């Protein structure tokens, strides 16, 4: 569309109505209007890119009125929650109108990761620009001409006032085009050099864009750089979980070996109470995140490492491993899950039940039914939750059920299973980035 000159009118009535759609001019019949003027649009950084090169789209907003307004910006990494106020939306299609695959991970429940926000005051006539890596929304795998639909709704607030509610919303909707041309390896290596230089520049305090590029579009020729980045990061200059994501996207034996090494570096029971302190301080978070990625990959070659770590780990990593083993459809993974259903530790029994839930399949139902008779109420509740998740059938139970109520719940589940065991087939869970 190019630049859109917008005037938005806010009223205490709280209602909005587009009067002239072409110019997106907003009016309202209620009195007490407050006016905000601005120009906003998306544009491509370049008209043509090389295949494999990072492709950027820019969001540009200009203050065209006589007083300043503020807006919030955030880190350039794509959020997994599309309803975030600041989140742009991109849809890329090829010449036939086919949408390119979206490489973004799909969270099962709540969005994962952290979004960092800041605020900028935009004086009259000034321009605010943000660059978004389009490869986070679309996989460009072939040369050709592509169409990009870009959309964003950004809240504007009055500068210098404590008012929290927006006075307007800047709306940008643009149809763009970009060409992807053939490339050579030497050209691609050259395209990534500025980003590699940025992360290696210790005087650059915020290489967020470079980290995003290197971890969103990892290349074998800078594997050593990614490995080095796993050993130095937040609170310094990047979050090492993002680097682990990049190694998983690279998806080579060497990259997965690095993730395994990070997982093996978790605090273990051999460190005594010091390991619990380290985990409490967040030092166990990176190995746990490495475990999440290993579980999503579910390569049977990882199982010996997981079972080895299970034997010497403490909570919370021990529970993470029991749940993760449920994603490996291999008899070597089943054994520790079933063994720990009879553990003296309540947390072991609970996490083994959740491991069975992750494993899925009709064959885990009898073990879950047996867990409904566990002496600990927490274990019985987790068993009920897992049965509901696997079957879709629900049995009403209070937050703190008595032993008598638990017997009723168990009887109801056994009756349901007797009726449905012959025909039951658990649905295949959708792949997602959460467990």
CB 218 within 8 A of CB 245: no
What is the per-residue pLDDT across 6-26, written as a single tens digit (0 to 9) for each? 333 332 333 333 333 333 333
Lowest mean pLDDT among 12-21, 255-264, 397-406: 12-21
DSSP class of 95 = T
In sequence order, what are the residues at sequence separation of 6 or more whose Cβ sits closer than 8 angstroms to the Cβ of residue 281? none
Confirm if 10 and 163 have CB atoms less than 8 A apart: no
- Cis status of the peptide bond prior to 316, with omega within 30 of 0: yes
Given a cut of 60, whether residue 31 has pLDDT beyond it is: no
Q: What is the mean pLDDT of residues 56-60?
A: 96
Q: Token digits for 67? A: 């007083």
Which run of H or E residues covers position 270? none
User: Which class for 253: exposed (0-12), middle (13-18), buried (19 or more C-beta within 10 A)?
Assistant: exposed
pLDDT computed for residue 321 by the predictor: 96
Report the pLDDT averaged over residues 24-30: 34
Tell whether the model's pLDDT for residue 111 goes beyond 50.
no
User: What's the farthest any 2 CA atoms get from each other in the chain?
Assistant: 74
Average pLDDT over residues 362-391: 94
Please give the average per-residue pLDDT across 51-72, as a whole number: 94
Pick the more confident residue, 294 or 2. 294
Please give the model's pTM, rounded to 2 decimal places.
0.81
In the three-class reduction of DSSP (H, G, I as helix; E, B as strand; rest coil), residue 406 is classed as helix
Res 107: pLDDT = 58
| More confident position, 233 or 77 | 77
Residue with the larger pLDDT of the pair 343 and 1: 343
Whether the pLDDT of residue 226 is over 60: the answer is yes
Of the pLDDT bands very low, low, confident and very high (cuts 50, 70, 90), residue 266 is confident
Predicted confidence band of residue 80 (pLDDT cuts 50, 70, 90)? low
Cα angle vertex 401, ends 396, 407, to 5°?
A: 80
Percent of the chain whose pLDDT exceeds 70: 80
| Mean pLDDT to the nearest integer, 248-273 | 82
| Residue 5 pLDDT greater than 50, yes or no | no
Mean pLDDT, residues 62-69: 91
For the segment 199-218, the average pLDDT, to the nearest whole number, is 92
pLDDT band at 217 (very low <50, low <70, confident <90, very high): very high
Cα separation, 347 vs 20, in Å, equals 61
- Please list the residue range(s) of the chain that carry CATH number 2.60.40.10: 4-181
- Rounded to whole angstroms, the Cα distance separating 145 from 282 reads 46
Q: Contact at 8 Å (CB) between 112 and 434? A: yes
Checking phi first, is residue 52 left (phi over 0); if not, alpha (psi -120 to 50) or beta? left
The predicted pLDDT at position 318 comes to: 94
Q: Work out the mean pLDDT of the chain and round it to a whole number.
A: 84
Predicted local confidence at residue 422, as pLDDT? 87
Lowest mean pLDDT among 64-73, 98-107, 231-240: 231-240
Q: Report the percent of the chain where pLDDT is more than 90.
A: 60
| Cα 59 to Cα 79: distance, rounded to the nearest angstrom | 16
203's tokens? 């005087």
The CATH code that applies to domain 4-181 is 2.60.40.10
DSSP state of 9: E
pLDDT at residue 242 greater than cutoff 80:
yes
Kindly write down the DSSP assignment for every residue of 47-79, as one continuous string: SEEETTS--EEEEEEEE-SSS-EEEEEE-SSPP
Residue 192 has pLDDT above 80, yes or no: yes
Distance, CA of 73 to CA of 130 (rounded, Å):
8
pLDDT score recorded for residue 187: 98
Q: Give the pLDDT of residue 232.
A: 79
Residue-level pLDDT at 74: 73
Q: Cα(10)–Cα(418) distance, rounded to whole angstroms?
A: 62
Give the C-alpha separation, 270 to 314, whole Å.
Answer: 9
Q: Give per-residue pLDDT as tens, 141-165.
A: 999 999 999 999 988 988 776 667 8
Tell me the pLDDT tens digit for each residue of 90-102.
999 999 999 999 9
Helices and strands in the chain: count of H runs, count of E runs:
14, 12
For range 371-379, the mean pLDDT:
95
Report pLDDT for 26. Answer: 35
């Amino acid at each position: 569309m190019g630049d859109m000159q917008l005037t938005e009118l806010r009223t205490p009535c709280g209602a909005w109505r587009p009067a002239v759609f072409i110019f997106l001019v907003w009016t309202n019949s209620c009195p007490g209007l407050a006016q905000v003027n601005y120009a906003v649009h998306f544009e491509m950084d370049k008209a043509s890119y090389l295949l494999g090169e990072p492709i950027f789209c820019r969001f540009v907003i200009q203050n065209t009125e006589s007083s300043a307004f503020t807006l919030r910006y955030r880190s350039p990494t794509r959020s997994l929650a599309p309803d975030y106020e600041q989140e742009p939306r991109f849809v890329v299609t090829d010449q036939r109108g086919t949408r390119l695959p979206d490489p973004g991970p799909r969270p099962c429940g709540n969005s994962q990761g952290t979004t960092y926000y800041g605020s900028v005051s935009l004086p009259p006539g000034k321009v605010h620009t943000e660059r978004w890596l389009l490869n986070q929304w679309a996989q460009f795998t072939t040369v050709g001409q592509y169409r990009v639909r870009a959309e964003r709704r950004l809240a504007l607030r009055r500068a210098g006032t404590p008012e929290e509610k927006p006075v307007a919303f800047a709306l940008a909707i643009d149809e763009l085009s970009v060409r992807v041309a053939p490339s050579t390896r030497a050209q691609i290596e050259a395209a990534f050099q500025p980003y590699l230089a940025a992360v290696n520049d210790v005087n650059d305090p915020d290489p967020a864009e470079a980290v995003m590029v290197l971890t969103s579009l990892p290349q074998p020729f800078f594997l050593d750089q990614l490995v080095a980045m796993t050993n130095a990061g937040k609170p310094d200059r990047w979050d090492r979980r993002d680097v682990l994501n990049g190694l998983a996207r690279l998806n080579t034996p060497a990259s997965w070996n690095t993730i395994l090494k990070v997982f093996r570096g978790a605090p273990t029971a051999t460190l005594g109470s010091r390991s619990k302190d380290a985990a409490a301080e967040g030092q166990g978070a990176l190995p746990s995140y490495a475990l999440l990625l290993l579980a999503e990959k579910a390569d049977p070659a990882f199982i010996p490492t997981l079972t080895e770590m299970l034997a010497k780990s403490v909570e919370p990593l021990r529970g993470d491993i029991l749940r993760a083993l449920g994603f490996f459809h291999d008899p070597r993974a089943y054994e520790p899950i079933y063994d720990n259903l009879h553990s003296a530790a309540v947390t072991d029994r609970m996490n083994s039940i959740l491991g069975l839930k992750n494993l899925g399949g009709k064959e885990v139902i009898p073990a879950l039914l047996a867990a409904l008779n566990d002496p600990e109420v927490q274990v019985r509740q987790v068993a009920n939750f897992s049965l509901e998740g696997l079957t879709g059938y629900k049995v009403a139970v209070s937050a703190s059920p008595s032993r008598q109520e638990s017997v009723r719940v168990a009887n109801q589940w056994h009756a349901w299973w007797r009726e449905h065991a012959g025909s039951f087939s658990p649905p295949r869970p959708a792949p997602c980035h959460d467990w």
